[in-house]
Amino acid sequence: MLANFIYFTVFIILAFVLSIAVKAITRGVEAKQVIKDEKNLELNKENESQSLEIIDQIKELKDLYDKGVLNGDEFKKAKDKLLK
């Protein structure tokens, strides 16, 4: 009888420890996913910022071309350089 009580108590303790371990692993996986999502969001913002900067530079080149400061070949070369 006492042995059965001890086995039952050990089983309950093991079940409790396993449930805590599963919760910890789940939280770790979720935290890792959140960090990954934040990094992706940050990279997307950086890429968007760089794209806007390139667009502004191309607009400036277009203005110079429209004003006659740059000829067609110079404009094309400068634009291609920005886009690479």
Over residues 22-39, the pLDDT tens digits come to 999 999 999 999 999 999
pLDDT value at position 35? Answer: 95
pLDDT (tens digit per residue) in 1-10: 999 999 999 9
- What is the rounded distance in angstroms from the CA atom of residue 79 to the CA atom of residue 5? 81
pLDDT (tens digit per residue) in 11-70: 999 999 999 999 999 999 999 999 999 999 998 888 888 888 989 999 999 999 999 888
CA 40 from centre of chain: 1
- What is the rounded distance in angstroms from the CA atom of residue 22 to the CA atom of residue 8? 21
- What is the rounded distance in angstroms from the CA atom of residue 32 to the CA atom of residue 51? 29
User: Contact 47/53 with Cβ under 8 angstroms?
Assistant: no
- What is the rounded distance in angstroms from the CA atom of residue 60 to the CA atom of residue 57? 5
Q: Which residue has the tokens 């950086």?
A: 46
